[in-house]
Chains A and B, each alone.
Chain A
Amino acid sequence: TQLLEQSPQFLSIQEGENLTVYCNSSSVFSSLQWYRQEPGEGPVLLVTVVTGGEVKKLKRLTFQFGDARKDSSLHITAAQPGDTGLYLCAGGGGGSQGNLIFGKGTKLSVKP
């Protein structure tokens, strides 16, 4: 069974600080996605990483896929209150059903 361990579960920081969220597994994933979810809404896709060692940037967000495609990280530089939300990593194993495996999420709160 593929599992994704996401850490930390909760993170409360001040505006302007940097942070990193980790997503780890003992399994290899063909791709990993990062989503952000706000209360009362569905998750919104931020990025997909596919190649081992890949780094993608989305403004102040930097996503990295581990060389072995078993882990990923999300780094936010100079966090803003608008970054507040639940961040979810998800992995696609390429199974016939195509369902994603989700981490437990990181609840980020950025205080002004």
Chain B
Amino acid sequence: GAVVSQHPSRVICKSGTSVKIECRSLDFQATTMFWYRQFPKKSLMLMATSNEGSKATYEQGVEKDKFLINHASLTLSTLTVTSAHPEDSSFYICSARPGAGGRAEAFFGQGTRLTVV
């Protein structure tokens, strides 16, 4: 299957600082990538859709000024958590779909465990 690499896998930061998470598609181009947040023992919650060359589309309730998304190239999307607070601590996961339309599977990064202290 296609490979999506996410970095870092774990990060601890102080309140008020910003953290950048990278998501790369290693063997395919992805015009669209997706960012999810996952709470313990819960399913994935879509935060935003990252579009190469244009602004991200955010889900209702997700602050776009707090969770900055940049899709710099066809293989890289970044999520920056700005002015992080302890309540931002969570597991963040990105995904990308190599194909088009509804038949294409999504492949996920390894996830990033963010802890804000």
The tally of CB-CB contacts under 8 A between chains A and B is 71
Q: How large is the interface on A (under 10, 10 to 19, 20 to 34, 35 or more residues)?
A: 20 to 34
Interface residue from A29, A43, A50, A105 paired with B108 (Cβ < 8 Å): A43
CA distance A58 to B27 in the complex (A): 25
Interface residue from A31, A45, A86 paired with B102 (Cβ < 8 Å): A31
Interface residue from A33, A44, A105 paired with B43 (Cβ < 8 Å): A105
Residues of chain A within 8 A (CB-CB) of B107 are 45
B101 lies within 8 A of A45 (CB): no
Q: Which 5 A-B pairs have the closest CB atoms?
A: A94-B102, A30-B102, A42-B108, A92-B102, A105-B43
Residues of chain B touching chain A, judged by Cβ–Cβ distance below 8 Å, are: 1, 4, 6, 32, 34, 41-44, 46, 49, 57, 91, 93, 95, 97, 100-111, 113
Residues of chain A touching chain B, judged by Cβ–Cβ distance below 8 Å, are: 29-31, 33, 35, 40-45, 48, 50, 86, 88, 90, 92-95, 97-100, 102-105, 107
